[in-house]
Amino acid sequence: MSGLFTRNRVIGLALAAFVAVIDQAVKLWVIGPLDLRRVLHIDLLPFFDLTYMENRGISLGMFQANDMETRWLLVALTAAIALVVLVWMMREKALADIVGLALILGGALGNIRDRYDLGYVIDYADFHIGDFRPFLIFNIADAAITLGVVIILARSLLVRDKGDTETGDAPHGEQHNA
């Protein structure tokens, strides 16, 4: 494969699709067979429960979409961000960067689908340590977006750009002796 659809980019597109499909499947299971929309809360483990929430805002509940205009504005804004992430991913070459961006893209697509169809995002994952909740209630899409951002940030902070060393350029001010 050459050009736009390299092996790594195809892997990225497949991962993004997988995340979006799994996110939607779990949401359907949570509101379908588990009927979490009606029961609201299911105790599972000492540190993890299922708790139904309708998130009408964005991260941390900011920018609530309580009317149709704001709902569609959020759909358009998140779709534009997803498009930027897709273009970015299709320009990357390193698999680790593509994986991070694919997780963000897949999560964004899962949440956009909720907001488009329902007007809100379904959240259900409730991680806690006793009464302490280090996270808000979230879903698979949110977890994928968070993991993708962590990967991108870690790579940008920890992986050195090899551009200068790959070309054999000496650091500024040093001379090569033949």
- Any residues with CB less than 8 A from the CB of 13 and at least 6 apart, and which? 89, 102
Residue 169 annotated among the catalytic residues of the structure: no
Residue 23 annotated among the catalytic residues of the structure: no
Phi/psi class of residue 119: alpha, beta or left (left: φ > 0; alpha: ψ in -120 to 50)? left
State the alpha helices, DSSP H only, in the chain: 7-31, 36-39, 68-91, 95-118, 140-158, 163-166
CA–CA distance, 16 with 156 (Å, rounded to integer): 21
- Pairing verdict, β 48-55 and 41-45: antiparallel
CA–CA distance, 135 with 113 (Å, rounded to integer): 23
If you compute the radius of gyration of the chain from its CA atoms, what whole number of angstroms results? 20
Q: Which of 123, 126, 164, 169 is catalytic?
A: 123
| DSSP secondary structure string for all residues of 125-160 | EEE-BTTB-SS-SB-HHHHHHHHHHHHHHHHHHHSP
Q: Which of 114, 142, 161, 164 is catalytic?
A: 142
CA–CA distance, 121 with 111 (Å, rounded to integer): 6
Residues assigned a catalytic role: 123, 142
